Amino acid sequence: MSQDLELLVALQETDLQLAQCQTKTRHFATERERIEAEFQHHIATYSTAKTNLDAVRHRLRDLEIELSHFQAQFAKYTADLQRVRNQREYETAIREIDMAKKSAAQCETKIAEARAEIAKLETEVASYAPEIEKLRAETDLALAENAQAEAAYLAEVEVIRQRRQEMETKLSKVWLNNYARVSKLRGGHVMSQVINGTCSACRMRLRPQVHSLVRQGIGIHTCDNCGRILFYRPDAEAKPSVEKVAAATAD
């Protein structure tokens, strides 16, 4: 087999390897998401309590603002009472004072309820803290292990990539372009082994002359039917290949 053809076969093997690498690289990201989702699932009860706590704290702040508003109204109308000039103004001031007092009292009741609820929720949230801390530590450890494995794997992939680049520099531009064209056309499967005079990829029988040249390793030839680049290995014909048996069974 010519050096170019050997290089093309090696390039194909490398590309198939790199395609598998892509799948495995995605696996690391999926695993990362799974680990984080599992943590979120475990702390769902805690998260609900924490959200409720935040909401009640917010409500308490609003109620306190409301209360100070009614207290200010109460002070204002009490002062007005000192300046009334007739019965009508007196009655109005008294009515406003009563309303402000009543509203403030309602507010105070709601504030007391909110404070009690906050105390209860704070206790609940605090009770989850040790378990969450433990879970978070476990999650972070799992994430770190995943990141470490990914980094190690990516370093391996980088070595394969570099090897591919080296192959590219050794190959002629014409064959590199041909390889790229067929790869695009055939979903990355460019090379086809000739077994018993047949293209193993599409099962098309080769013309005798082409078969003879491929066997002798003279030049580089493509399959007339599928366009893949053909190569021949003598040991492949010594015993029936898996592909051949599968093809025979299918027929």
The residues of the shown chain that bind Zn ion, judged by CB under 5 A, are 199, 201-202, 204, 223, 225-226
One-letter amino acid at 41 equals: H
Give every CB contact of residue 64 below 8 A, 6+ residues apart in sequence: 111
- Considering the complex, what minimum distance in angstroms separates the CB of residue 205 from Zn ion? 10
Query: How many CB atoms lie under 10 A from the CB of residue 220?
Result: 19
The nearer residue to Zn ion, 32 or 189, going by C-beta atoms, is: 189
Strand pairing class (229-231; 198-199): unpaired
The nearer residue to Zn ion, 43 or 190, going by C-beta atoms, is: 190
CA dihedral angle for residue 61, residue 63, residue 66, residue 68, rounded to 10 degrees: -70
The CA–CA distances, whole Å, from 80 to 71, 76, 93 equal 14, 6, 7
The nearer residue to Zn ion, 97 or 206, going by C-beta atoms, is: 206
- Considering the complex, what minimum distance in angstroms separates the CB of residue 199 from Zn ion? 3
- Considering the complex, what minimum distance in angstroms separates the CB of residue 237 from Zn ion? 17
- Considering the complex, what minimum distance in angstroms separates the CB of residue 21 from Zn ion? 27
The nearer residue to Zn ion, 163 or 215, going by C-beta atoms, is: 215
SS (H, E, C) 179-237: HHHHHHHCCCCCEEEEECCEECCCCCECCHHHHHHHHHCCCCCECCCCCCEEECCHHHH
230 phi, psi to nearest 5 deg: -95, 145
Q: What is the rounded distance in angstroms from the CA atom of residue 107 to the CA atom of residue 67?
A: 6
The nearer residue to Zn ion, 139 or 198, going by C-beta atoms, is: 198
- Considering the complex, what minimum distance in angstroms separates the CB of residue 190 from Zn ion? 11
The nearer residue to Zn ion, 139 or 200, going by C-beta atoms, is: 200
Q: What is the rounded distance in angstroms from the CA atom of residue 176 to the CA atom of residue 165?
A: 12
The nearer residue to Zn ion, 157 or 197, going by C-beta atoms, is: 197
- Considering the complex, what minimum distance in angstroms separates the CB of residue 20 from Zn ion? 23
- Considering the complex, what minimum distance in angstroms separates the CB of residue 221 from Zn ion? 11
